[in-house]
Chains A and B, each alone.
Chain A
Amino acid sequence: MEWLTITDIREGLQKKLFSVSELTSTYLERIATLDSKINSFISVREEEVQAEADIADKRIREGKTRVLEGVPFAIKDNLMLKGGCTTAGSNILKDYSAVYTATAVQKLLDVGAIILGKTNMDEFAMGSSTEYSAFGPTKNPHDMSRVPGGSSGGSAAAIAADFCTAALGSDTGGSIRQPASFCGVVGFKPTYGRVSRYGLIAMSSSLDQIGPITKTVEDAALVYSIISGEDKCDPTSSTIKCGSVNLQKKSSLKGKRFGIPKSFVGFEIEKSVQAVFDRALADLRSAGAEICEIDIPLSRMSLAVYYLMVTSEISSNLARYDGIRYGTRVDVQDLIGQYIAARTQGFGEEAKRRILLGTFTLSKGYRDKYYKQALAVKEAIGAQFDKGLAGCDALISLTSPTSPFKLGEKFEDPLTMYLSDLFTVSANIANLPAISLPLLSEHLPVGFQMMGKRFGDAELLSLASACEDLFGKAQPAKSLKPVS
């Protein structure tokens, strides 16, 4: 049982090639043997999984199989699963046990998915390398001296290491797509509002979005179709009716028009990464697609808008961590001292850095200059992207300007780290769906990003599936040996 997709598992279970118990035992054994090297999981639900697998097997025997019956998932540790620890990668929540389940997770459970465990992440999803986790960094399964990307680095690494079949991550500025790119797998960020954020520990409420990390576009489309939809518990979940994903009817690439944002051209891109991208462009042209440059001048501002919005919203969202209702009580004399001690000991360096900047940008005299201006520029950027997308089927670019960097390489220089999100943030700022597909590369993984029209998630996935057929599917990391 190696490198199984959801489709493979559904088929295998139906044909009785294996049972859910055998399947989950294989994954748990693999995690137990190999994850000490990767550190992709913060917690593994060994006992619960075995009991849940027995129930799934019973349902299958009784002919009550659901869509994801017995499919092993991993979920990022900022998603609540009732009764289990949910740390968001932070010391301040290290002992926190979730009191309810996130809607997206509940929807997976309702159709039979089995959650193997919770995956590592940058603290409160702040980071692009998973080095900012209070539970130690995650390593890239393709090269363990390198980062898996972030902040959903644990979920992407768990897929690449074949520790689970599919995973959930969250994406505020690229946190699903950039780690998917670095780990050579598929990562999809739906349009903001398509997936309920209820039960997702908030970083930047205006931008956070949950999405799948998988081995194939088909699996991403299936998971997306299950977790998406309006939710009464999240008033920002959209009421707009969207078409369903149908990958059976293949999109042809012939005559399709892909735009490369002009503002993405000219940035310093690693040579070997650019070469892989150029090869993908040549393949697209050979398949009959047209590639053109599209001018979206304001997209240059996306990263700056992003950092003003996230730091402001972080300083507000993280104000709730005071060690009173949850978290850790520190032995001090008075209430203010308790807040300060809990926060000083509980938050890591990146969280503190962003809280400080956000406190500044929201302070009297600066709120209009920074936060409100950023919100206004965000709208203008979105309008320019709409105009650009009106003339093509999707926008394409590299997911990241570099290949996975070495652990520690960008740790001390936050601005350089932030710049690794350059190509991904625009989709969050413009509220667009975007996906990262793996490109075959002789060296380290490279990701190909496609951005679609707002609420055109189904069309984007269909187009991405056609591109995946052209580029080739994700491959498991070679450096990890399977359990014999």
Chain B
Amino acid sequence: MQFQDEDIQKLAALSRITLTPHECEKFRDQLTSVLAYVEQVGTVNLDGATSISVDDSRMRVDKPTKSAATQKELLAAAPCVEEGHISVLSVK
């Protein structure tokens, strides 16, 4: 698959980043070549393949635990705080 400029711009919009025309051109070619390399994964025939996963995933007990951080510490990490809340800009 050959990425076009529009594909890259669409992916950038979905990823919430903007690209300069130079970056767009560069990523278009680089991602085309990386994708061509990784596409070989699709050629693997998985009939009869076995799994290695050890299923020891478990649910946590549904009980509140004490947070390692206080509300004050968590709020201090945010760049904009108003009256004890993280402030955000309006949605337009």
Interface residues on A, range: 35 or more
Contact residues, B1-47 vs A (CB, 8 A): 7-8, 11-12, 14-19, 23, 27, 30-31, 33-35, 37-42, 44, 46
Contact pattern, B 70-92, Cβ under 8 Å of A = 1, otherwise 0: 00011011111000001011111
Stretch of A157-165, A219-227, A235-243 that contacts chain B:
A235-243
Evaluate contact between B51 and A379: CB separation under 8 angstroms. Answer: yes
B positions within 8 Å CB-CB of A: 7-8, 11-12, 14-19, 23, 27, 30-31, 33-35, 37-42, 44, 46, 49-54, 56-60, 68-69, 73-74, 76-80, 86, 88-92
Known: A235-B60, A360-B7. 5 other contacts (CB 8 A): A304-B40, A324-B79, A343-B15, A360-B35, A379-B53
Evaluate contact between B79 and A431: CB separation under 8 angstroms. Answer: no
Evaluate contact between B41 and A379: CB separation under 8 angstroms. Answer: no
- Residues from chain B with a CB closer than 8 A to the CB of A414 are 30, 34
3 closest pairs, A vs B, by CB?
Answer: A382-B52, A100-B68, A99-B69
**Which chain A residue shows the least CB distance to B77?**
A326
* Selected contact of A308 from candidates B11, B14, B41, B46, CB within 8 Å: B41
Evaluate contact between B86 and A380: CB separation under 8 angstroms. Answer: no
Chain B nearest CB from A34 CB (Å) reads 33
* Selected contact of A340 from candidates B18, B23, B38, B90, CB within 8 Å: B18
Stretch of A9-17, A244-252, A347-355, A394-402 that contacts chain B:
A347-355
A382, B54: Cα distance in complex, Å = 12
A48, B2: Cα distance in complex, Å = 53
Evaluate contact between B78 and A324: CB separation under 8 angstroms. Answer: yes
Chain A nearest CB from B13 CB (Å) reads 9
Evaluate contact between A238 and B31: CB separation under 8 angstroms. Answer: no
A232, B63: Cα distance in complex, Å = 13
A positions within 8 Å CB-CB of B: 82, 96-97, 99-101, 193, 232, 235-236, 238-240, 298, 301, 303-305, 307-308, 315, 322-329, 332-340, 343-344, 347, 349, 352-353, 355-357, 359-360, 363, 369-370, 373-374, 376-377, 379-380, 382-383, 386, 414-415, 418, 430-431, 454
**Which chain B residue shows the least CB distance to A239?**
B56
* Selected contact of B49 from candidates A337, A338, A357, A383, CB within 8 Å: A383
Chain B nearest CB from A85 CB (Å) reads 11
- Residues from chain B with a CB closer than 8 A to the CB of A337 are 89
Evaluate contact between A301 and B52: CB separation under 8 angstroms. Answer: no
**Which chain A residue shows the least CB distance to B60?**
A235
- Known contacts A324-B88, A334-B92, A373-B41, A386 near B52 by CB under 8 Å: yes
A322, B80: Cα distance in complex, Å = 13
Evaluate contact between B52 and A383: CB separation under 8 angstroms. Answer: yes
A374, B46: Cα distance in complex, Å = 11
**Which chain B residue shows the least CB distance to A431?**
B52
* Selected contact of A99 from candidates B18, B59, B74, CB within 8 Å: B74
A355, B33: Cα distance in complex, Å = 16
Evaluate contact between A235 and B33: CB separation under 8 angstroms. Answer: no
Evaluate contact between B78 and A338: CB separation under 8 angstroms. Answer: no
* A/B interface sample: 11 pairs, CB < 8 A: A99-B69, A238-B54, A301-B40, A324-B79, A324-B86, A337-B89, A343-B16, A356-B15, A379-B50, A379-B53, A383-B50
Evaluate contact between A333 and B92: CB separation under 8 angstroms. Answer: yes
A177, B91: Cα distance in complex, Å = 46
* Selected contact of B34 from candidates A323, A369, A418, CB within 8 Å: A418
Chain A nearest CB from B85 CB (Å) reads 11
Chain B nearest CB from A78 CB (Å) reads 16
Chain B nearest CB from A127 CB (Å) reads 14
- Residues from chain B with a CB closer than 8 A to the CB of A303 are 37
Evaluate contact between B77 and A359: CB separation under 8 angstroms. Answer: no
A236, B56: Cα distance in complex, Å = 8
Evaluate contact between B27 and A359: CB separation under 8 angstroms. Answer: no
- Residues from chain A with a CB closer than 8 A to the CB of B73 are 99
- Known contacts A100-B69, A357-B34, A379 near B52 by CB under 8 Å: yes
Q: Which of A193, A308, A386 has the most CB of B within 10 A?
A: A308
- Residues from chain A with a CB closer than 8 A to the CB of B90 are 334-335
- Residues from chain A with a CB closer than 8 A to the CB of B15 are 315, 343, 352, 355-356, 359
**Which chain A residue shows the least CB distance to B24?**
A356
Evaluate contact between B46 and A377: CB separation under 8 angstroms. Answer: yes
- Residues from chain A with a CB closer than 8 A to the CB of B39 are 304
- Known contacts A97-B76, A304-B38, A338-B89, A415 near B17 by CB under 8 Å: no
